[in-house]
Amino acid sequence: MFKLILFLLASSATASCLSAPFTTCPSKAFLIQDSTAKIFGVNLVSGGTNLLSDNLGTTGKINALGFNLHDRYLYGWGYEADTLLRIGDDFQIEPLAVQNLPNTSFYVGDVSVLDNAYYMYSRNNGLGLYAINLDENSSDYLVVQKIVDSSQLNLAIFDLAFHPNNGLAYSVDRSGKLYQINVTTGQSTLLGNVGQAGTFGAVYFDVDGNFYISRNSDGIVFRIELDKGNLLAEPFANGPASGNNDGARCATAPIIDEDAANIDFGDAPDSYGSSLSANGARHELIEQGLFLGKLIDGESNSAIFPSSDELTGIKDEDGVEFVTSLERGLDAVIQVTATQSGYLNAWLDTNLNGVFDSGENVISDRLLQSGSNKLVFTVPASAQNGNSWMRFRVSHETNLGPNGGTVDGEVEDYPVSILGSGVTSEYYPSSSGWSTVAFEDKWPVMGDYDSNDVVVHLRTIIHSQEGMLKQVTVEGLLVAIGGSFHNGFAVHLPGVLADQVKQNAATLTIDNAVQPLSGLEADRDEAIFILATDLWNLVDEPVNCTFFRTEVGCEDSSKVAFRFTIPFNEAVARPNDFSGVFDPFIFATPGTYHGDLVGDAGRAWEVHQKNVSPTSAFDWSLFGKGDDASNPSSQYYYQTQNGLPWALQMGNQWKHPVETVDLLLAYPEFEAFALSDGQQNSNWYLQQKAVTSNIINR
């Protein structure tokens, strides 16, 4: 007590007034270290720390730190003053005149979330668990009460923290045993072993009931998803190591401020670990620091696939270029650009299980130079063919895993395809480009040539080996439905038979959802893949619009993405002229009216591009009706007397005309193109050739 009085007198000579409490319940944790106490802020998300103060007004250490929600001060045990300290936002200690103090120092303690009291614990003989009332209005203010003797509560623990809701305290002892402590009764309950051992000198909770423990020897912060019942400690971030650690945080705060978007997250599906709750890969942004490519953006959480920060923020997946394909058992070349020298790690999901397993670290702690780096790595021979993901992490830290936080750098995730060895890939119009097919659906009657009754973007990928087909992929976007008739859409692969398709492996996905059926039309010899029998079933009913994305003011409806993946039973000889968009066509939805001349022809009614013959499903008696001047003997199909088509194919992501606007008013150069048999204005369909006010531009 005499020592305390002297300390109080000494402190009052320097302290001019009481320090103010913290203004908020901060997301960051506080960490006290060293024999002359220093206090740090710790970002649990990344493990990053910043020094808040190296002069707290004491030459001794401080331990048993806790954050009091009720008054927003920190409390801890001061070894120099030998009493409880209060610390405000100026990080200057204020020793408190506590009554009935036991004759010892404490390194285990925290402030309860539910009641305004500080709890401290020592397992030494004759000591135990104590409470100090922090309510200034209470008659017991700053009076120590012993809860239980150490003979009843004997735990080898180094810190404890209170759960945000249930009033109980938790700790992990040096062998990894997780204890729950009832501070009212002094009883402890062993919940299990967290799977990690060591001295966990700083422990914390967040508002979701996740328990974080920081190991002194290496600074690793582990997360235990206590409220979810997952008791295994998973490495979460790398914090500072120290032989003398204690920590505290506001348990009712989330560990990341939603407004402080200074963390970079990955974009892969969350099974790979992208979101904060999945302990996703995350990097604290450092201005002018190390990252990949030219762009980086921060967020408070992953956008969660299929969304991505490419859609919601900045397209910062720009640091890695895949110079070659990824083929099983072969080397692959990538070009990686970094702003500074740093270490690159990369993972490829080779078994397509949605997780970056150990053994899938294809690039490990590779030192990058600032600027462009050509890297070669091997795709394992055991890899499976298919669509997958790759994760790249750059940091000044080495030995990073695919998940967890780190203090700098960037993570970039890329969707990739793993191919068989020696496969050639051919893309139309290019690996990320789109072509477009647009239909008039009043055939055999001439339409209004607004060329938007059905509009679909298409991209085709042909995988072949030594001239034999291995797999075909048709990717598409349903862009517009501007006709009042109901139509289905399909793609016919010319020259390929249905029984050449590996039917149990063929798939159709619509908006990233794998469909129950592959779309291969049954009972046909030809390989015909049907997206939908009625395209209207794929789109949301437009609000205040008659059609889907053809009217001004109705452009915001989402396009519908689809993909046919078509592997073959065995290598199929590539048919002649098998390239481009193949043979996309529309057909009448069965049971629906499609004009007086065709009635309910249903599936037997088709419209293909000019001079492309119909499939075996077609009713050939429909040819020659109305305005149709098809002459199958001359191989003239789907054209008028004047040679005009009912379908057009453009080699880009074409912007279709506004509803009822004639094609020539939207694309004036089309006239010379048509009249010159394509000798002039071959690029008539490009957007810069369009009359902007006459097209749907989204």
Q: Give the C-alpha separation, 197 to 233, whole Å.
A: 10
User: Any contact of residue 595 with another protein (CB under 8 A)?
Assistant: no
Q: Which is nearer to another protein, 259 or 570 (CB)?
A: 259
Q: Which is nearer to another protein, 542 or 668 (CB)?
A: 668
DSSP state of 123: -
Planar angle of CA 545, 551, 645, nearest 5 degrees: 120
Out of 4, 8, 143, 261, the only residue in the binding site for another protein (CB under 8 A) is 261
User: Any contact of residue 661 with another protein (CB under 8 A)?
Assistant: yes
Q: Which is nearer to another protein, 427 or 536 (CB)?
A: 427
User: Any contact of residue 432 with another protein (CB under 8 A)?
Assistant: yes
User: Any contact of residue 658 with another protein (CB under 8 A)?
Assistant: yes
User: Any contact of residue 695 with another protein (CB under 8 A)?
Assistant: yes
Task: Say which residues have a Cβ less than 8 Å from residue 359's Cβ, sequence separation at least 6.
Answer: none
DSSP 3-state of 115: coil
Q: Which two tokens stand for residue 396?
A: 């000044």
Q: Which is nearer to another protein, 33 or 262 (CB)?
A: 262
Q: Which two tokens stand for residue 319?
A: 């640091």
Q: How many residues bind another protein (CB under 8 A)?
A: 100
Q: By the 8 A CB rule, do 224 and 194 touch? A: yes
Out of 125, 138, 324, 569, the only residue in the binding site for another protein (CB under 8 A) is 324
- Contact set for another protein, span 551-570 (CB under 8 A): 551-552, 555
- Contact set for another protein, span 443-472 (CB under 8 A): 446, 449
Out of 428, 529, 564, 618, the only residue in the binding site for another protein (CB under 8 A) is 428
Out of 4, 25, 231, 295, the only residue in the binding site for another protein (CB under 8 A) is 295
Whole-Å CA distances, 530 to 171, 455, 594, 613, 664: 59, 15, 19, 17, 31
Q: Which is nearer to another protein, 146 or 294 (CB)?
A: 294
User: Any contact of residue 50 with another protein (CB under 8 A)?
Assistant: no
Out of 145, 424, 484, 621, the only residue in the binding site for another protein (CB under 8 A) is 424
Out of 433, 599, 624, 632, the only residue in the binding site for another protein (CB under 8 A) is 433
Q: By the 8 A CB rule, do 84 and 78 touch? A: yes
Out of 51, 323, 468, 514, the only residue in the binding site for another protein (CB under 8 A) is 323
User: Any contact of residue 484 with another protein (CB under 8 A)?
Assistant: no
Q: Which is nearer to another protein, 130 or 291 (CB)?
A: 291
Out of 80, 173, 327, 413, the only residue in the binding site for another protein (CB under 8 A) is 327
User: Any contact of residue 46 with another protein (CB under 8 A)?
Assistant: no
DSSP 3-state of 439: strand
- Least distance to another protein from the beta carbon of 374, Å? 5
Whole-Å CA distances, 404 to 282, 398, 537, 581: 6, 13, 42, 43
- Contact set for another protein, span 597-656 (CB under 8 A): 609-611, 629, 631, 634, 636, 639, 642-645, 648-653
Task: Say which residues have a Cβ less than 8 Å from residue 112's Cβ, sequence separation at least 6.
Answer: 118, 119, 162, 167, 169, 183
- Comparing CA positions, the residue from 526, 515, 539 lying closest to residue 492 is 526
Q: Give the C-alpha separation, 389 to 415, whole Å.
A: 4
Task: Say which residues have a Cβ less than 8 Å from residue 12's Cβ, sequence separation at least 6.
Answer: none
Q: Which two tokens stand for residue 169?
A: 């305290």
- Least distance to another protein from the beta carbon of 318, Å? 9
User: Any contact of residue 381 with another protein (CB under 8 A)?
Assistant: no
User: Any contact of residue 696 with another protein (CB under 8 A)?
Assistant: yes
- Least distance to another protein from the beta carbon of 460, Å? 9
Q: Give the C-alpha separation, 383 to 375, whole Å.
A: 19
Q: Give the C-alpha separation, 160 to 154, whole Å.
A: 14
User: Any contact of residue 321 with another protein (CB under 8 A)?
Assistant: yes
Q: Which two tokens stand for residue 651?
A: 């080699």
Whole-Å CA distances, 388 to 275, 348, 351, 473, 537: 18, 8, 9, 15, 29
- Least distance to another protein from the beta carbon of 200, Å? 32
- Least distance to another protein from the beta carbon of 667, Å? 10
Q: Which is nearer to another protein, 181 or 696 (CB)?
A: 696
Bridge-based pairing of strands 410-419 and 326-327 is parallel
CA-based R_g, the chain, Å: 34
Task: Say which residues have a Cβ less than 8 Å from residue 342's Cβ, sequence separation at least 6.
Answer: 290, 367, 368, 394, 395, 396, 409
User: Any contact of residue 294 with another protein (CB under 8 A)?
Assistant: yes
Count of beta carbons in the 10 Å neighbourhood of residue 87: 28
Q: Which two tokens stand for residue 229?
A: 């019942």
Out of 3, 174, 228, 374, the only residue in the binding site for another protein (CB under 8 A) is 374
Out of 20, 260, 381, 468, the only residue in the binding site for another protein (CB under 8 A) is 260
User: Any contact of residue 311 with another protein (CB under 8 A)?
Assistant: no
Q: Which is nearer to another protein, 385 or 639 (CB)?
A: 639
- Facing residues of 31 across strands? 40, 247
- Sole residue written with tokens 């120590």: 144
User: Any contact of residue 146 with another protein (CB under 8 A)?
Assistant: no
Q: Which is nearer to another protein, 388 or 694 (CB)?
A: 694
- Least distance to another protein from the beta carbon of 332, Å? 8
User: Any contact of residue 376 with another protein (CB under 8 A)?
Assistant: yes
